[in-house]
Structure 1
Amino acid sequence: MELNRCCIHSITNKPWKLDEALDKYARAGIGGVSVWQSSLEGFGAKKAASLVKEAGLEVVSYVRGGFFAHPSGAERQKAVDTNKRQLEEAAELGAPLIVLVCGASPEQSLDASREQIRAGIEAILPEAESLNVRLAIEPLHPMYAADRSAINTLGQANDMAEKIQSDFVGVAVDVYHLWWDEHLKQEILRCGKNGNLLAYHVCDWKTQTADLLNDRGLMGEGCIDLKLIRSWVEEAGFQGFHEVEIFSNHYWQMDQDIYLEKITQAFLKSC
């Protein structure tokens, strides 16, 4: 896998401001960037789009929308309004898609949360279509089912995308959340068959993880068979960027230039 097929999420190098990260990525030969909302602070979407263009990178996605599930109707409407604004930011940034972390609430059943997620996506779909920004449903590991996402398997994400029946709704496959699923291959091929595979995120699962949110591993550092999953993604017809998305208190404390070199080496060796 060549570095021009590599995209890095700006949160991966959290200590860097966006302009510095873009310059470093371009110098390293990285092809794309997925921009997190926090990275727009001090720049705004329009300026960020200009910086990405000047660096010669491609905006792969805007991260993140979603969080539709809530027992309160007023809060659900607030989430819809927030997502519409985020879609406008994504369009201004030049991002072809926005990644959805769909949300959940421990105050209600998972079925209720899933129905609210579907309704929330359908509520913002006209805005997405008018702005030409696609919506990628990202299933999260079941450990997040209580309060972060009620969509926990790729099968559930595929079911929802297929029920909504829009070319603007698909799924994001993140190996950190899905590597354990015995049905992963068939579900990746399923979303490939339906044209629903919009994004592919890579990192690794450390067997001695210190923090389930902020201790992701570099590719090759853990137990995920990245090359096997890559073969399924390619069999499904996916030809997009392979996006490095790593939350890590350990790596955020490291010299980020050294860390970026580790990322590029790990990508070339293990992806």
Structure 2
Amino acid sequence: MKPSTPLPRFCIHTMTTKPWSLEDCAKHYPTVGATGITVWRQHLQGQDPKKAGAMLRDAGLEIVSLCRGGFFPAPSPSRRQAAIEDNMRAIEEAQALGAPLIVLVCGAVPGQPLEESRKQIADGIAAVLPFATKAGVKLAIEPLHPMYADDRSAINTTKQANDVCDALGSPEGLGIAVDVYHVWWDDALEANIKVTAEKERLFAFHVCDWKTPTTDILNDRGLMGEGCIPIRKIKGWVEASGFSGHNEVEIFSTRYWDMDQGEYLKLIAKAYQEHVA
């Protein structure tokens, strides 16, 4: 298929079309106007990241970020060190790929106090940040919905993400990724987006929707406009704060992964144009 009219800020995560290979994504995303791609690490497995990056750029796609790093907390020092080493590998992959940013899903340990998990997150980021800075790769903390506070992330609000950045001395290479799926419920969101932008930390913006009812807290996200998130309102806050980066479509959905991905891609583009662009 020929490329559609490009939409300059339209980015799709490879996990959104999980069944497709990276080559499939490179071939098909431009046909609906996407100009950006965020690559998930599993889509790089078995590939030379440098060659993969060249392939994506040849397809006309800007590499927006690499997902994901993080998962720093662990019950033992050896496992925390293993997480640091894995994040360093991710930084190397991002540098070879040509991705300027890694999104961090920070992690948590079931039964461990959230305060301890947050300390371990800050310690982990501090350990890898110099390596990332040297590689020319920025890191973005992504707050996750509180339903994930037990095992996926102890960072659940933009304020908490800003607190980590403050605790580490506000380094230039550390910022925040705002995903509407995770933060739409927060009554302090507008104010915290403004604070994030004023401190020049707003690095990424992700969109999808929260369905009612949600049948699976991880893999039942909706297309934009299919749920209750005020996407345009939040996008307005983000843009009013000066953000001009990509609008990244990130949808985890078993239902959509089970359908023909070409038809699904058309639905993504339609929803993006009607509810985001």
Matched position secondary structure for 1:4: strand
Displaced runs of 4 or more, over 4 A: none
Q: How far apart are the structure 1 equivalents of 2:112 and 2:227?
A: 34
Amino acid at match of 2:18: K
Name the counterpart of 1:248. Answer: 253
Q: How far apart are the structure 2 equivalents of 1:218 and 1:24?
A: 18
Q: Structure 1, residues 43-92: CA drift from partner, whole Å, max 9, x if none? A: 23112111111101100000000000012011001100110111000000
Amino acid at match of 1:263: I
- Whether the 8 Å contact between 1:8 and 1:243 is mirrored in structure 2 is yes
Q: How far apart are the structure 1 equivalents of 2:45 and 2:74?
A: 27
Q: How far apart are the structure 2 equivalents of 1:4 and 1:260?
A: 17
Out of 116, 137, 141, the residue aligned to residue 137 of structure 1 is 141
Matched position secondary structure for 1:69: coil
Q: How far has the Cα of 1:256 moved from its partner?
A: 0.7
Out of 58, 73, 77, the residue aligned to residue 69 of structure 1 is 73
Q: How far apart are the structure 2 equivalents of 1:42 and 1:122?
A: 29
Matched position secondary structure for 1:185: helix
Out of 211, 216, 227, the residue aligned to residue 221 of structure 2 is 216
Q: How far apart are the structure 2 equivalents of 1:94 and 1:31?
A: 15
Q: How far apart are the structure 1 equivalents of 2:95 and 2:266?
A: 31
1:175 aligns with 2:191: no
Out of 85, 89, 94, the residue aligned to residue 85 of structure 1 is 89
Paired residues, number: 270
Name the counterpart of 2:127. Answer: 123
Matched position secondary structure for 1:5: strand
Name the counterpart of 1:8. Answer: 12
Which range is displaced more, 258-267 or 160-169?
Answer: 160-169
Matched position secondary structure for 1:8: strand
- Whether the 8 Å contact between 1:64 and 1:100 is mirrored in structure 2 is yes
Name the counterpart of 2:118. Answer: 114
Q: How far apart are the structure 1 equivalents of 2:8 and 2:226?
A: 22
Correspondence list, 1:15-30, <5 A:
15-30=19-34
Matched position secondary structure for 2:129: helix
Out of 94, 105, 117, the residue aligned to residue 109 of structure 2 is 105
Q: How far apart are the structure 2 equivalents of 1:28 and 1:142?
A: 34
Q: How far has the Cα of 1:163 moved from its partner?
A: 2.1
Q: TM-score, normalised by structure 1?
A: 0.98
Name the counterpart of 1:206. Answer: 211
Amino acid at match of 1:206: K
Name the counterpart of 1:59. Answer: 63
Q: How far apart are the structure 1 equivalents of 2:252 and 2:55?
A: 24
Q: How far apart are the structure 2 equivalents of 1:69 and 1:43?
A: 29
Q: TM-score, normalised by structure 2?
A: 0.96
Q: Structure 1, residues 202-234: CA drift from partner, whole Å, max 9, x if none? A: 000001111110000000000000110011000
Q: How far apart are the structure 1 equivalents of 2:208 and 2:26?
A: 20
Matched position secondary structure for 1:139: coil
Q: Structure 1, residues 149-168: CA drift from partner, whole Å, max 9, x if none? A: 00011110011112212000
Q: How far apart are the structure 1 equivalents of 2:48 and 2:268?
A: 27
Q: How far apart are the structure 2 equivalents of 1:120 and 1:42?
A: 27
Q: How far apart are the structure 2 equivalents of 1:170 and 1:137?
A: 6
Q: How far has the Cα of 1:189 moved from its partner?
A: 0.5
Amino acid at match of 1:166: P
Name the counterpart of 2:3. Answer: none
Q: How far has the Cα of 1:42 moved from its partner?
A: 3.3
Q: How far apart are the structure 1 equivalents of 2:50 and 2:259?
A: 30
Which range is displaced more, 37-46 or 78-87?
Answer: 37-46
**Taking every aligned residue pair, what percent have the same amino acid on both sides?**
54
Which segments of 5 or more consecutive residues in structure 2 lack a partner in the other structure? 1-5
1:264 aligns with 2:269: yes
Q: How far apart are the structure 1 equivalents of 2:66 and 2:99?
A: 6
Q: How far apart are the structure 2 equivalents of 1:169 and 1:26?
A: 30
Amino acid at match of 2:91: L
Amino acid at match of 1:44: D
Q: How far has the Cα of 1:9 moved from its partner?
A: 0.3
- Whether the 8 Å contact between 1:101 and 1:138 is mirrored in structure 2 is yes
